Amino acid sequence: METETQTEIQSSADIVTARQRGRALALELGFNGADVTLIAAAISEVARNIVDHAKKGEVVMSGINSSMNGGKKGIQIIARDQGPGIRDVVQAMQYGYSTRKGLGVGLPGAKWLMDEFDIASAIGRGTTITMKKWRR
Amino acid sequence: MQVPILKQGSYLIASIQSVLSDSDLVQLRDNLGERVGTYRSRGVIIDVTVLDVIDSFATRTLRAIAHMLKLRGAETVIVGIQPDVAFAMVQLGLTLEGVGTALDLEEGLLYLDTKTKRAAVNGN
């Protein structure tokens, strides 16, 4: 699967664009309706994280094939920014923790929605979130 | 994309026509706060049938709208949350605590009738 789509994230309108592209890609990859919605919600949360904390960044989405899991098909979403970075990733992933009076459910919520979730962050260098969901 | 707000007797109906960005939602909040005063509305229905995702920001804003309008003397009911959207909200741990919800517009109107009638009888 060669499908890949990249969305620049700078405003709340871009969050909607990323979500819609993700939805379209997930449908194309054969995800069912419920999973497509979960994927779109997860994209929304990581894209908003970029707007809120880094001002700008990008979301790259692609179809993937697992080398394990009997060659399962899936979707990979990478949300990347060169923002201030997250001081305490463990804390940021705690449900209900927010530095900006949000609900604090965005990142932990996105993790719950996806099958795999990885976050790498360096102070002053930015944050990269990589998440995957496999077709059932 | 502005959300049209229709006046129906003592109620307002905000009928969301397309997916909304965060700023559209904030705009809706401000517009409703104002209209409730202009039309002296007792109840507000927000129809979210077309929303493909209700994420943490949308949930927070819908909750804020309902609580704000309550302070302005109007009841709010959210109608039309789709099954997949509801499932994703549950997975995200999002709740609309303290906010009325109903299946569709018809149920929403019934909900408001009950709510506002009871309030009139009890005098609060």
A37 neighbourhood in chain B, CB within 8 Å:
52-53, 84-85, 87-88
Predicted complex: ipTM over 0.95: no
Q: Which domain does A26 fall in, by range?
A: 4-134
* A20 to B19: CB separation less than 8 angstroms, yes or no: yes
pLDDT of B69 above 80: yes
Q: Which has more pLDDT, B1 or B98?
A: B98
Which of A44, A52, A111, A115 would best serve as a mutation to test chain B binding (most B beta carbons within 10 A)? A44
Find, in chain A, the residue whose alpha carbon is nearest to that of B53: A41
Percent of chain A residues topping a pLDDT of 70: 95
DSSP lists the bridge partners of residue A6 as A60
Find, in chain B, the residue whose alpha carbon is nearest to that of A110: B92
- Packing angle, helices A33-53 and A106-113, rounded to 10: 150
- CATH number for A81: 3.30.565.10
State how far residue A45 is from chain B, nearest Cα, in angstroms.
7
Distance CA B70, CA B42 (A): 9
* A38 to B91: CB separation less than 8 angstroms, yes or no: yes
State how far residue B93 is from chain A, nearest Cα, in angstroms.
7
pLDDT of A132 above 70: yes
A23 neighbourhood in chain B, CB within 8 Å:
52
Tens digits of per-residue pLDDT, A35-80?
999 999 999 999 999 999 899 999 999 999 988 767 889 999 999 9
* B87 to A37: CB separation less than 8 angstroms, yes or no: yes
- pTM (two decimals): 0.89
In CATH terms, is domain B5-122 a member of 3.70.10.10? Answer: no
Count of domains forming chain A = 1
Distance CA A113, CA B69 (A): 32
Percent of chain B residues topping a pLDDT of 70: 94
Tens digits of per-residue pLDDT, A110-123?
999 999 999 999 99
Q: What is the predicted pLDDT for the residue at A68?
A: 75
Mean pLDDT computed over every residue of chain B = 92
pLDDT of A97 above 50: yes
Distance CA A73, CA A106 (A): 25
Q: Indicate the residue of A12, A15, A38 with minimum beta-carbon distance to B88.
A: A38
Mean pLDDT on B27-45: 96
Sorted by where each begins, the domain ranges of chain B are 5-122
State whether residue B94 sits within 8 Å of chain A by CB. Answer: yes
The beta strand positions in A1-136, using DSSP E, are 4-9, 57-65, 73-81, 116-122, 126-134
Q: Which has more pLDDT, A17 or A102?
A: A17
A103 neighbourhood in chain B, CB within 8 Å:
56, 59-60, 94
Q: What is the predicted pLDDT for the residue at A90?
A: 84
State whether residue B56 sits within 8 Å of chain A by CB. Answer: yes
B20 contact partners, CB below 8 Å, separation of at least 6: A16, B1, B3, B28, B51, B58
Give the DSSP H/E element, type plus range, for residue A18. Answer: helix A12-28
What token pair was written down for A8? 């620049």
Q: pLDDT grade, residue A91 (50/70/90)?
A: confident
Q: What is the predicted pLDDT for the residue at A1?
A: 47
Find, in chain A, the residue whose alpha carbon is nearest to that of B25: A12
* A102 to B57: CB separation less than 8 angstroms, yes or no: yes
Mean pLDDT on A79-86: 93
DSSP lists the bridge partners of residue B12 as B7, B44
Tens digits of per-residue pLDDT, B81-102?
999 999 999 988 888 988 999 9
> How many C-beta neighbours within 10 Å does residue B117 have?
11
Give the DSSP letter string of B9-66: TTEEEEE--S---HHHHHHHHHHHHHHHHHTT-SEEEEE-TT-S---HHHHHHHHHHH
What token pair was written down for B48? 């979210």
Distance CA B45, CA A44 (A): 25
